[in-house]
């Protein structure tokens, strides 16, 4: 049933997540996706060159990466390299798969009264 038709209905059964939400790890901030282990030892006195893998918040993380360097903690270079000036930990600035809801998690109880606001035209 379209949600607009359901706006004054009561759920007959609970609604569960069909898959994890989000489905995969995704960037929690705009920046550069990296393997956190590659940033160990980075500082403003010792910037580390890393492969340039720009990501936007909400985007799936590229394979082999587990952290996001925020834009303000890195400088991109013309040679497809980003200079990291501060280390990041695994999972930093990353929203983990299933962090909102795991597969099968209850999203709404049975007998939930569905109300959607009606917009004035």
> Is residue 112, in this structure, part of any structural domain at all?
no
Contact 74, 82 (CB under 8 A): yes
> Is residue 12, in this structure, part of any structural domain at all?
no
Q: pTM for the complete prediction? A: 0.74
The residue range of the domain holding 97 is 19-103
Output the pLDDT for position 99: 87
**What pLDDT, in 10s, does the model give residues 51-85?**
989 999 999 999 999 999 998 888 777 778 899 99
CATH of the domain at 59: 2.170.190.11
> Is residue 73, in this structure, part of any structural domain at all?
yes
> Is residue 5, in this structure, part of any structural domain at all?
no
User: Which three-class secondary structure string do you get for the chain?
Assistant: CCCCCCCCCECCCCEECCCCECCCCEECCCEEEECHHHHCCCCCCCCEEEECCEECCCCECCCCCCEEEEHHHEEEECCCEEEECCCCCCCCCEECCCCCECCCCEEECCCCECCCCCCCC
> Is residue 42, in this structure, part of any structural domain at all?
yes
């Amino acid at each position: 049933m379209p949600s607009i038709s359901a706006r004054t209905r009561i759920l007959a059964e609970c609604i569960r997540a069909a898959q994890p939400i989000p489905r995969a790890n995704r960037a929690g901030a705009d920046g550069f996706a990296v393997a956190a282990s590659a940033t160990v030892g980075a500082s403003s006195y010792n910037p580390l060159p890393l492969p340039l893998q720009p990501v936007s918040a909400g985007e799936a993380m590229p394979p082999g990466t587990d952290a996001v360097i925020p834009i303000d903690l890195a400088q991109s270079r013309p040679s497809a390299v980003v200079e990291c000036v501060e280390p990041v930990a695994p999972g930093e600035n990353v929203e983990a798969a299933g962090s909102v809801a795991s597969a099968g998690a209850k999203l709404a109880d049975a007998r939930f009264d569905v109300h959607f606001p009606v917009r004035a035209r």
